[in-house]
Structure 1
Amino acid sequence: MASHRRPKQPSRARVTVLTTAAAAAVAISAQAASAAPSEKPSKDEVKAKVDKLYEEAEQATEKYNGAKEKQERLQKDISTIQDSVARGQEELNELRDSIGLAAAAQYRSGSIDSSVQLFLSADPDDYLDKASTLDQLSGQQVEALKKIQEKQRQLAQERSEAAGKLKDLAATRTELGKKKKEVQGKLAEAQKLLNSLTAAEKAAMAAEDARASRSASSRVDLGNSKAASGRAAAAFSAAQSKIGSPYVYGASGPSSFDCSGLTSWAYAQAGVSIPRTSQAQANAGMRVSRSELQVGDLVLFYGDLHHVGLYAGNGQVLHAPRTGTTVRYESIDNMPFQFGVRI
Structure 2
Amino acid sequence: MIAFSSVAFFLGPILVGLGLVMLAPCFLAWEMGSADLGAFLISDAATMATAATLILATRHHKPVLRIREMFLLTNLAWFMVCLFGALPFVLSQTVGGLTDAVFESVSAVTTTGATVLSQLDQLPKDILLWRSTMQWIGGLGIIGLGAAILPYLRIGGMRLFRTESSDLSEKALPKTRRVLSRLLLTYLILTALCAGSYWVAGMDAFDAINHAMTTVSTGGFSTHDKSFAFFESGRIEIVGVLFMLLGGVPFMLYLPILSGHPTPLLRDSQVHTMLLIYFGAASLLAVWLVATGQMESVSAFREAAFNVVSIATTTGFVSADYMEWGALAVMLFFFLTFVGGCSGSTSGGIKIFRFKIAFVMFRETIL
- Bigger fraction of residues in strand: 1
Query: What's the TM-score once normalised by structure 2's chain length?
Result: 0.19
Q: What's the TM-score, normalizing by structure 1? A: 0.20
Select the structure that is richer in helix: 2
